[in-house]
Amino acid sequence: MTAQELQKAVLRHLELSLGKDLAHATVYDIRMSLTLAVRDQVIAPWFESTRKTYAAQSKRVYYLSMEFLIGRLLEDAVNNLGLKQTAQEALDALGFDLTQVIADEPDAALGNGGLGRLAACFLDSMSTIGCPGMGYGIRYEHGLFRQSFHDGVQIEEPEDWLRQPHGWEFARPEAVERIGFGGTVEAHDGRMRWSPADAVLAKAHDTPIIGWQGQWANTLRLWGAEPIQAFDLEAFNRGDFVGAAEQEAFARTISRVLYPDDTNGEGKELRLKQEYFFTAASLRDILRRFLSEHDDLELLPQKVAIQLNDTHPAIAGPELIRILHDEHGLEFDHAMALARNTLSFTNHTLLPEALERWPQALMARVLPRHLQIIARIEEAFLAAQPESPVRILEDGDVRMGELSFIMAHRVNGVSALHTGLVKSTVFAQLHRTFPDRIVNQTNGVTPRRWVLGANPRLSALITDRIGPGWVDDLEQLGALEPHVEDAGFMADYAASKAGNKADLAAWIADTTGIAVDPAAMFDVQIKRIHEYKRQHLNILETIALWQDMRANPRAGWVPRVKIFGGKAAPGYVRAKEIIRLINDVARVINADPVTGDLLKVVYPANYNVSMAEKLIPASDLSEQISTAGKEASGTGNMKFALNGALTIGTLDGANVEIREHVGAENFFLFGMTAEEVVARREDPQHQAKAIAASPRLAGALKGIADGTFSDGDGARYAALLADLRGHDYFTICADFDSYWNCQRQVDAAFADPARWMRMAALNTARSGWFSSDRTIRGYMADVWDITPLI
């Protein structure tokens, strides 16, 4: 497609789809017209992929996920279709700037963090590899809340991405499924029949996901809930206007809003309904497609692979058995075996509070038949494993982790360390019973979005030296390694980082009003705010550093900009205290003329995918400092390494594998190992001893306690301090000195720019393994048993 052709297509959509004349077109109008013109280019490969899948009678993969943290789609699409340059020229001729048009698209924030972003990277990789399949999820009207700070305190406001039409999707009013809740179960001619009391319609909305170079496209199908009957005319005529719309209100509530909790299984009835709603709609859709191609249910595991992204869709096990047994009349055990051979399950966290449990009484009320089926699944399990202490039904709860494990033929963890811990802790008993079931699939990230899209400077440099093949074969980055000895390459590499940093400094000035020195080290921690991720360890080190700098301002300090980004779950009080503390500390330090440009702290509000795309390419240092054993994998850590930020991190999650790949000498390691953390907690005085042994830590804590950062209000952080001094489960204190010392090694390395840049370039060259293409190939081989169609 030429720029002229694209321009014509944009103008046609502007007129015919938007009803606007160019003379009055806004950025929004142009963005929508370009979106529609680009979407037109996706249709042919999309249809072609579907035709090939049918022609090959191929197995398909269905990725069921409560969350898809997509972000913006326009830039991804033009990049994957090779239309970036063309689009730029087309818009230039119309008097619009592509960058500005791209930035006009709202982020689709249908996820909380890593788990949802992983699902989005997987969709991109499946389309790039040619793995036939679909993503299934919920079309939330409101994604993750918008964050702002009022006097440093997090305020949440509803997010509204659908206020403007979503240009990428196709509504499918004809693809609806009726989803029931509640009601009764009765035996009928030897079969159980569930008669739900309430029902809603699940309506499909399809977004095509185009792979690299437009060779393949899959579908993301999101379900929106709608009432069966828009409104009750009889009630309306009686004058009962509220009652007339009741049905509608109940239905729409189901897909209204994404639960903002992060690794915290909140046992709310609406959440259970959301889980069943999208899982049941997806299974019906899957079975209808399967039965249109095959007439033998025996073939199901050969033709269908269903991946459960965490336990959120775990009701798929009982629901599939219900369909096969109650509706199709298969023997229960037979139905269970077919379901198990079709399903597999990914565990994403070991935090006990994140393992979903539903009260049996609630399940009996909302999904009465499913509770009966779950009891039979447990019965069958115990009949085969009479010695096993494992129960699905325990303490009045349904344990969704155990249910998912027992109903899956493969269970995977998301990094080598995490998978080992899955085997030795949460699912230790089940692992003994089924020693071949658990496999590891270390997470990955898509290089199309996280290098090519986010970092055009670095991408151009890489392509210039090793050719363009790295974009869908990321291990080719290894070919950069010899260039590290080339002064010309290293100068260009440093210049690309400097350019990104200058851009970010301008953006920071724009959005926060804080002037930062682009030559300073950009030290970045961006992720959900959580005690285990230890943003408070970072801020304590910041305070200690500031105190040292003030005591001796001319000691040759390495200037730093500490950058934070992230949201706290609205109900997570301690995380919100940490946010306020960071903002309080930032206000005081940024105003200090003694430290000036030596130290700045910035915390732009409303961190999201698009902000990550700005921050990561401009980072020097990547903070991956979780308490060892707590971060299942991390995926931000991979994005930073690829973009040439050095990691300061613990031996946690995928940090372990990143360090192995980039080399220990190119990674700043500190802190206790997972085993050492567990052992240290045995000593109830571990935090007191650490504070007594570290005057710096004691000084930083005292600075908070005496109100230095809170206008003299010593009580503001009393609870946080009491926790650190009294209990400190996340071993902030015990790891503090190790972290401080490691940060000073970071300073020394940064003070030698040639050495630093060499380490950074080696991180880029050696991180090719962390592509989600590699991860998806692993799932295809070890879990889904499917081969690509391109």
Residues with active-site annotation: 348, 527-528, 533, 635, 639
CA angle (393, 394, 399) in 5-degree steps: 60
349 is an interface residue for ligand GL9 by CB under 6 A: yes
Nearest-angstrom CA–CA distance, 189 and 210: 48
633 is an interface residue for ligand GL9 by CB under 6 A: yes
Smallest gap, in angstroms, from Cβ of residue 775 to ligand GL9? 10
400 is an interface residue for ligand GL9 by CB under 6 A: no
CA-based torsion, 4, 6, 12, 15: positive or negative: negative
* Contact range with ligand GL9 by CB under 6 A, out of 107-115, 186-194, 233-241, 510-518: 107-115
Nearer to ligand GL9, 113 or 227 (CB): 113
Smallest gap, in angstroms, from Cβ of residue 357 to ligand GL9? 15
Per-residue contact track with ligand GL9, 654 to 693, x per CB under 6 A? ----------------------------------------
Nearest-angstrom CA–CA distance, 212 and 48: 15
623 is an interface residue for ligand GL9 by CB under 6 A: no
221 is an interface residue for ligand GL9 by CB under 6 A: no
620 is an interface residue for ligand GL9 by CB under 6 A: no
Per-residue contact track with ligand GL9, 108 to 137, x per CB under 6 A? ----xxxxx-x-------------------
Rg (CA), the chain: 27
Nearer to ligand GL9, 325 or 348 (CB): 348
Nearer to ligand GL9, 414 or 545 (CB): 414
Per-residue contact track with ligand GL9, 495 to 514, x per CB under 6 A? --------------------
45 is an interface residue for ligand GL9 by CB under 6 A: no
Nearest-angstrom CA–CA distance, 410 and 391: 19
Smallest gap, in angstroms, from Cβ of residue 659 to ligand GL9? 16
> DSSP labels for 17-69?
TT---GGG--HHHHHHHHHHHHHHHHHHHHHHHHHHHHHTT--EEEEE-S-EE
Nearer to ligand GL9, 116 or 301 (CB): 116
Nearer to ligand GL9, 80 or 635 (CB): 635
Q: Which of 144, 225, 414, 421 binds ligand GL9 (CB under 6 A)?
A: 414
634 is an interface residue for ligand GL9 by CB under 6 A: yes
Nearer to ligand GL9, 617 or 653 (CB): 653
Q: 3-class SS at 149? A: strand
- Contacts of ligand GL9 in 517-556 (CB under 6 A): 528
> DSSP labels for 605-629?
SS--HHHHHHHGGG-SEEEE-PPTT
* Contact range with ligand GL9 by CB under 6 A, out of 229-237, 326-334, 629-637, 772-780: 629-637
φ, ψ for residue 630 (rounded to 5)?
-105, -35
Residues 6+ apart with CB under 8 A from 640: 524, 616, 619, 622, 624, 647
Nearer to ligand GL9, 500 or 775 (CB): 775
Contact by Cβ (8 Å): 664, 647: no
Alpha helices in 96-211 (DSSP H): 98-103, 114-129
* Contact range with ligand GL9 by CB under 6 A, out of 11-19, 221-229, 450-458, 626-634: 626-634
- Contacts of ligand GL9 in 437-456 (CB under 6 A): 443
219 is an interface residue for ligand GL9 by CB under 6 A: no
Nearer to ligand GL9, 320 or 403 (CB): 403
Q: Which two tokens stand for residue 574?
A: 């301690």
Q: Which two tokens stand for residue 756?
A: 């630093």
End-to-end CA distance of the chain: 23
Smallest gap, in angstroms, from Cβ of residue 563 to ligand GL9? 20
Smallest gap, in angstroms, from Cβ of residue 669 to ligand GL9? 18
Nearer to ligand GL9, 414 or 462 (CB): 414
Q: Which of 167, 444, 653, 703 binds ligand GL9 (CB under 6 A)?
A: 653
Q: Which of 263, 459, 542, 624 binds ligand GL9 (CB under 6 A)?
A: 263
Nearest-angstrom CA–CA distance, 350 and 422: 7
Smallest gap, in angstroms, from Cβ of residue 402 to ligand GL9? 18
7 is an interface residue for ligand GL9 by CB under 6 A: no
Hunting for tokens 């304590």 — which residue is that? 540
Nearer to ligand GL9, 109 or 377 (CB): 109
| The residue count for the chain | 790
262 is an interface residue for ligand GL9 by CB under 6 A: yes
Q: Which of 631, 657, 723, 735 binds ligand GL9 (CB under 6 A)?
A: 631
Residues 6+ apart with CB under 8 A from 434: none
CA neighbours within 13 Å on the CB side: how many for 142? 14
> DSSP labels for 716-730?
TTHHHHHHHHHT-TT
Q: Count residues contacting ligand GL9 (CB under 6 A)?
A: 20
Nearest-angstrom CA–CA distance, 171 and 202: 12
* Contact range with ligand GL9 by CB under 6 A, out of 11-19, 575-583, 633-641, 686-694: 633-641
Nearest-angstrom CA–CA distance, 8 and 89: 12
Contact by Cβ (8 Å): 151, 265: no
Smallest gap, in angstroms, from Cβ of residue 416 to ligand GL9? 13
307 is an interface residue for ligand GL9 by CB under 6 A: no
User: What residue type is assigned to position 145 of the chain?
Assistant: F
Which contacts of 93-97 are long-range, i.e. CB under 8 A and separated by 24 or more positions?
A: 93/3, 93/7, 94/7, 94/10, 94/11, 94/22, 94/25, 94/30, 96/27, 96/30
Residue whose CB is nearest to ligand GL9 in the complex, by number: 114
Nearest-angstrom CA–CA distance, 363 and 359: 6
Q: Is 685 exposed, middle or buried (0-12, 13-18, 19+ CB in 10 A)?
A: exposed
Smallest gap, in angstroms, from Cβ of residue 543 to ligand GL9? 27
Residues 6+ apart with CB under 8 A from 393: 360, 374, 375, 378, 399
* Contact range with ligand GL9 by CB under 6 A, out of 34-42, 286-294, 453-461, 628-636: 628-636
Q: Tell me which residues touch ligand GL9 (CB under 6 A).
A: 112-116, 118, 262-263, 348-349, 354, 414, 443, 528, 631-635, 653
